[in-house]
Amino acid sequence: MPWPRKGRWGGQLSIAIPPPLRLLFSAILDLLLPVMDGMTVLDRLCASPHHAGLPVIVVTGKELTPREREELAEKASGVIAKGEGVEERLKEALRSLFSLGHAHR
């Protein structure tokens, strides 16, 4: 499958990750995307048999509603607000995620 053009995803991911390898991968997702919102992408990742269990860390500058926070708590492995120190917080979230062997999701 060719890579999406102009930021369009078309509802499909470019790769399927076999279950044994999912412990080696994670996704970093922003909720503010140009064509499809990040919550829709997260829903599709969670529903996809090729990506079930893949940890997703959301990094966003979006002001989250209580409903969005609740949904992200159920579907994402972590949520990080953009701003000062985001790189270090992301590194720590990834370290924690992999040291736990993807225990949360």
- The pLDDT of residue 64 is 95
Whether 43 is in a domain gets the answer yes
Whether 56 is in a domain gets the answer yes
Strand-by-strand arrangement of the 56-60 sheet: 27-29, 56-60, 78-81
Measured CA to CA, the distance from residue 89 to residue 105 in angstroms comes to 18
Whether 8 is in a domain gets the answer no
Q: Which CATH number does the domain housing residue 64 bear?
A: 3.40.50.2300
Whether 90 is in a domain gets the answer yes
- The pLDDT of residue 4 is 43
* Lowest-confidence segment of 6-10, 47-51, 100-104 by average pLDDT: 6-10
> Between residues 4 and 67, which one has the greater pLDDT?
67
Whether 30 is in a domain gets the answer yes
Give exposure, 2-31, as e/b (b: 16+ Cβ within 10 Å).
eeeeeeeeeeebeeebeeeebeeebbebeb
How many domains does one find in the chain? 1
